[in-house]
Structure 1
């Protein structure tokens, strides 16, 4: 299975996936840490996190998969949502909470 197939499988099999640097317990960059805080503030219980620092193929592959140059990347129900800036904007507008309520 190639990297793109592996990424697709992870995204398809989990309702909420965050590709990030580090883990939910120990984020390795400020943006990833902020993304986790936003998800917790939304009351998201189950978050599948993928530490891109542990897998260079995924770290590069996720950027091609989403056509998005930065990490973290949030996926909800198989759909790419965005990075931490977009997550913050959506959180502040209430849009992110609605997305999780629907999911």
Structure 2
């Protein structure tokens, strides 16, 4: 399976997926920590991929998502955005309905 196929499979199998540096219990950068904390406020149910332990995914995903940095939040296979976008959407209330529709909250 190619790296792109693996990414597409991950996106298909996980309604809410966060590609991040580290893990939700031990984020390895401030932006990943901010995204995790924002999702925690909504009690979101999500899967994650630690891109620090998956260098091929870390290298390939930006060319698929057209988003250069991490974290990257996907809902139903569609990129929502990075840390700043996730935090802003939690604050303005627009993320919860998306999570609810995907079964992630």
| TM-score between both structures, scaled by the size of structure 2 | 0.93
Q: How far apart in 2 are the matches of 1:51 and 1:100?
A: 21
Q: How far apart in 2 are the matches of 1:11 and 1:74?
A: 10
**Structure 1 residue 43: Cα displacement:** 1.6
Tell me the alpha carbon deviations over residues 29-66 of structure 1, each in whole angstroms, 9 at most, x when there is no partner: 00001111111111213x11100001111001111110
Q: How far apart in 2 are the matches of 1:97 and 1:48?
A: 16
Q: How far apart in 1 are the matches of 2:50 and 2:8?
A: 16
Question: 1:13 corresponds to which residue?
Answer: 13
Question: 2:62 corresponds to which residue?
Answer: 63
Please provide the CA RMSD for this pair: 0.9
After TM superposition, what 4+ stretches of structure 1 lie above 2 angstroms from structure 2?
none
User: Unpaired runs of 5+ in structure 1?
Assistant: none
| TM-score between both structures, scaled by the size of structure 1 | 0.94
User: Unpaired runs of 5+ in structure 2?
Assistant: none
**Structure 1 residue 101: Cα displacement:** 2.0
